[in-house]
Structure 1
Amino acid sequence: MGRNTRKRRTPLATRAMAATAALALGGGGLIWANFYASAHEEDSPSNRTRSGAAQIATINCPDVGQKLTKVPRKARRGVARELALLDQQVTAAYKRLADTRRAQAGDASYVSNAILGPLRSKRTATLDRIRITINRAGGQAPRNLGGFARCEGVPAEQPQVDDGGQDQNNDGQDQNNDGQDQGDGGQDQGGNGGQAGNGPVADDFVDIEDVQPGGGPQGVNGNGLPANGDTGSTGTFTTECGTNENENRNSDNVIVAPGVSNGAQHQHDYVGNQANNAFASDEDLANGDTTCRNQGDRSSYFWPVIRLQNGQNDIDAGRPGGGQDGNVGQIVEPAQVDLRFVGNRTSDVVAMPKALRIITGDAKSFVNGLNNANTNWSCTGFEDRVVTDKYPICPEGSSVVRTSFFQSCWDGQNTDSANHRTHVDFVEADGSCSNGFRAIPQLQVRLVYDIPAPQIQNGQVQNAYAIDSFPDQLHKPITDHNDFINFFDEDLMNEMVECINSGQDCQ
């Protein structure tokens, strides 16, 4: 069953305030974090400095894995190990960034010389090994691969206001202070927030009743619209696989980091296939046990866990993927998991190939930007109101909802691709597939959580919750993602296709 960390069982946000991430798509997709990054500083608030050197919130490095679209199949596992090493290097640099606030305050060049410089050297060596691995396998590594070694500090904007009440970016609005001094005086944000000091913060949350109705989940990039409609293939197929009552969790990701323990650096909930871990082969998954009611569905469905920031720790508090990677708090099991496949608005769908891998969303979108982000957060009873870069605060009697729409166009040949993206695609605006891709059933995952409502007081959040993330992603809701590996048996997959194409609702 893999390394189970629990062996027992039983574009709607309208304003950037202090502590929010303002998503900037220019300049390589940097995200400028509007908060103080002093979470691990031992000094009292009165001793904190506004030195620019001390106000680096996190680290932005080029996501090399997304840039490698052509890797020979026999080189992919070796390249994946090196890509996971790049992630580990960023994590180590982020931890050093968080632990050296006092040194940064006293030396304006500390971050560059002591953190980013050594990180660049390590990345250069790793990228060189990636180049060699690709070329030895008969491929051709990108000529500019070495250029991806350089990383940048993502600065926390400073509360500098001119005498006209405008911010220093001259955009006509003070986004740093919001009427309060967030630095040495006023309400201090407590660094990057969260029990581990790396999020979430107060401005990561919004009252769902303050969100305007918008017609339901659509996804950040507009590609999350339900695929089926009044024409084409209008049926649905639902599979019931439980809510992870087995508490089957690990911090691996067999899709992006096969053979690498703790390749995700955050915990996943698994339903369906119970054999999923970093070392599982397709044969292992094909023969794995399943929690699905229909035993013909041995597919693997997995996503980052949600934790309560309630002062308690879970069983993984001192382990990789848990506390060692800045993921702390009490893990919450979903109260409801809905797994539904739908059709295409313009055509019939074809069967998914066995072992097809699909990732929707981007675990690194806080620094990568929005190209692959695909998040939908809402509350029961309010699902026509959706937020993408905020966690919703739900009223009494309402539960948190996460919805993920998967890509539903397939290239007709590959079960995976080098960057785990290019073999599948979202539909076009009219619902059709482009570039010769073929329509496949679209997986829609709806997760419901019974979570105490967070409370925001004086710029601080109490009873916060957040998804697990890479440490440098600061638990931002925009980093939500979902993973699927198809292991329906042939008969059940054909039954699904027939059901959807004939307009039936089946399970």
Structure 2
Amino acid sequence: MGNERRLLTLLICLVLGGGLLAAVLGAARVGGPRTPAAAGAGPAPGDFVDIRKVPPSPAEPRTGGPDASTGRMSVECGRDAEGHYNEDNLVVSPGLRSGAHHTHAYVGNLSTDAFSTDASLDTAATSCVGGDRSAYYWPVLRRTDRPGTHAHEGSAGHGNAGEIVPEASVSVEFLGSPVSKVVAMPRFLNAMTGDAVAFTADSDADVRARWGCSGSPDRSTTRYPRCPAGERLTRTLAFPSCWNGLDTTSPGHRSHLLFPAAGGVCPQGTFPVPELRISLAYEVPPGVPVALDSFPEQLHSPKTDHAMFVNVMTDTRMAQLVDCLNQDRVCRT
């Protein structure tokens, strides 16, 4: 009889203990991360590639027929030494504070934020030599092995964390058309390149940014490159250059300004304008983990790289730019 009671007591303890363990584990599952985005996951190992394993890209043709505009103009705008960062996006979400949900870095117009207007941009200070008050901006790159210690490094949230890697150099350059002369951009033209939601998009049609290493200028990729020691990690962001001749912006921010075809010919109903190209370089030691700021569901995919531009050049400055390109000169401000 005593043995039976002891066995019954042991059985009850086992049942109760198993139930308690299940409850604890269940609570842990409920309280833990449910999705990769909630955990701030990404990038994935497959998002990285050794640049030496990337095949060389075909040479980019920049010359064409007798009407080609083969000039180029470089605009010296510094490299954001002012620390101009925010989580706004004037082009995509004007008037909405922190509408980008990730941090942007800027050169050019020093006042650019969600509440900028044509009038405020037109009277603001600029980091560009020669008085170009245009706004140029892109998502920051971070080292995920180091915590951010400044306000702008922690304010983005949404899984964007780590120390912001400052740009070692920023190149702002305008190119002509390989097939025809270019016409002036209108003042306050809004432009966008790349796709901030490329990770979840149905296709890579709007993926435009190219990543690379300074020692291999003939190789580019849509993945984060692993660069040899002593080389800089690079990002190149080329903008659309075929304007519809009517609008400075459009629903979706793309239909008023399109990319030319592979041969450089603009789609019907559009006109070639100067092609903006922003090139960024970073000092990133070999093996250091990096991540581009992104929306949480995009998991810091390098394919989501993008950039924005608002043209605030004076008509005189734009005319000088157009003349430089159409007269096949190399110019610098």
Q: TM-score range by the shorter chain?
A: 0.7 to 0.9
1:430: how far off? 2.2
Other-structure match for 2:218 = 384
SS at structure 1 position matched to 2:199: helix
**Which of 297, 310, 315 does residue 490 from structure 1 map onto?**
315
Change beyond 3 A, Cα 1:441–1:317: closer
Alpha-carbon distance in structure 1 between the residues aligned to 2:84 and 2:144: 21
For structure 2, which runs of at least 5 residues remain unmatched after alignment? 1-23
SS at structure 2 position matched to 1:367: coil
Other-structure match for 1:303 = 138
Other-structure match for 2:299 = 474
**Which of 21, 45, 49 does residue 202 from structure 1 map onto?**
45
Alpha-carbon distance in structure 1 between the residues aligned to 2:170 and 2:58: 22
SS at structure 1 position matched to 2:119: helix
Other-structure match for 1:370 = 204
Task: Map Cα deviations across residues 214-271 of structure 1 (whole Å, 9 max, x no partner).
Answer: 236xxxxxxxx67x42441010111000000001000000111111010000111010
1:203: how far off? 2.1
Change beyond 3 A, Cα 1:427–1:317: closer
Matches within 5 A, 1:66-105: 102-103=29-30
Matches within 5 A, 1:99-114: 102-103=29-30
Alpha-carbon distance in structure 1 between the residues aligned to 2:172 and 2:120: 23
Which structure is larger by alpha-carbon Rg, 1 or 2?
Answer: 2
Change beyond 3 A, Cα 1:437–1:48: farther
Alpha-carbon distance in structure 1 between the residues aligned to 2:207 and 2:64: 28
Relative to the length of structure 1, the TM-score reads 0.57
1:311: how far off? 3.0
2:191 counterpart of 1:355: no
Alpha-carbon distance in structure 2 between the residues aligned to 1:233 and 1:104: 60
SS at structure 1 position matched to 2:252: coil
2:54 counterpart of 1:211: yes
2:269 counterpart of 1:342: no
The residue type paired with residue 278 of structure 1 is A
1:383: how far off? 1.7
**Which of 219, 238, 263 does residue 430 from structure 1 map onto?**
263
Alpha-carbon distance in structure 1 between the residues aligned to 2:166 and 2:30: 40
Task: Map Cα deviations across residues 322-377 of structure 1 (whole Å, 9 max, x no partner).
Answer: xx221110011110111110101111000000000100001111001312111200
Alpha-carbon distance in structure 2 between the residues aligned to 1:450 and 1:292: 23
1:48: how far off? 10
Task: Map Cα deviations across residues 38-63 of structure 1 (whole Å, 9 max, x no partner).
Answer: xxxxxxxxx999xxxxxxxxxxxxxx
8 A contact 2:232–2:284 mirrored in 1: yes
1:197: how far off? 3.1
* Highest RCO, 1 vs 2 (Cα 8 Å, sep ≥ 6): 2
Other-structure match for 1:282 = 118
8 A contact 1:352–1:493 mirrored in 2: yes
SS at structure 2 position matched to 1:419: helix
Matches within 5 A, 1:128-167: none
User: What is the CA RMSD across the aligned residues, in angstroms?
Assistant: 2.4
Task: Map Cα deviations across residues 472-491 of structure 1 (whole Å, 9 max, x no partner).
Answer: 11100000001111011111
Q: 245-254 or 203-212, which moves further after superposition?
A: 203-212
**Which of 151, 156, 161 does residue 328 from structure 1 map onto?**
161
1:320: how far off? 4.0
Change beyond 3 A, Cα 1:485–1:248: same
Other-structure match for 1:244 = 80
Other-structure match for 1:410 = 243
Alpha-carbon distance in structure 2 between the residues aligned to 1:215 and 1:307: 30
Task: Map Cα deviations across residues 106-153 of structure 1 (whole Å, 9 max, x no partner).
Answer: xxxxx8xxxxxxxxxxxxxxxxxxxxxxxxxxxxxxxxxxxxxxxxx9
1:101: how far off? 8.4
1:272: how far off? 0.3
1:103: how far off? 3.7
Alpha-carbon distance in structure 1 between the residues aligned to 2:138 and 2:253: 16
8 A contact 2:189–2:311 mirrored in 1: yes
2:97 counterpart of 1:254: no
8 A contact 1:314–1:331 mirrored in 2: no
Other-structure match for 1:176 = none
> How many residue pairs align between the two structures?
305
Task: Map Cα deviations across residues 427-456 of structure 1 (whole Å, 9 max, x no partner).
Answer: 1122111222000000011101011122xx
Q: Among all aligned residue pairs of Structure 1 and Structure 2, give the percentage whose two residues are the same amino acid.
A: 39
8 A contact 2:40–2:296 mirrored in 1: no
Other-structure match for 2:252 = 419
**Which of 269, 279, 284 does residue 446 from structure 1 map onto?**
279
8 A contact 2:86–2:152 mirrored in 1: no
The residue type paired with residue 387 of structure 1 is T
Change beyond 3 A, Cα 1:504–1:305: same
For structure 1, which runs of at least 5 residues remain unmatched after alignment? 1-46, 50-99, 106-110, 112-152, 154-190, 217-224, 455-462
1:318: how far off? 8.0
The residue type paired with residue 497 of structure 1 is V
8 A contact 2:324–2:330 mirrored in 1: yes
1:202: how far off? 2.1
1:104: how far off? 10
1:387: how far off? 0.9
8 A contact 2:234–2:281 mirrored in 1: yes
The residue type paired with residue 213 of structure 2 is C
Q: 367-376 or 464-473, which moves further after superposition?
A: 367-376
Other-structure match for 1:501 = 326
Change beyond 3 A, Cα 1:104–1:326: closer
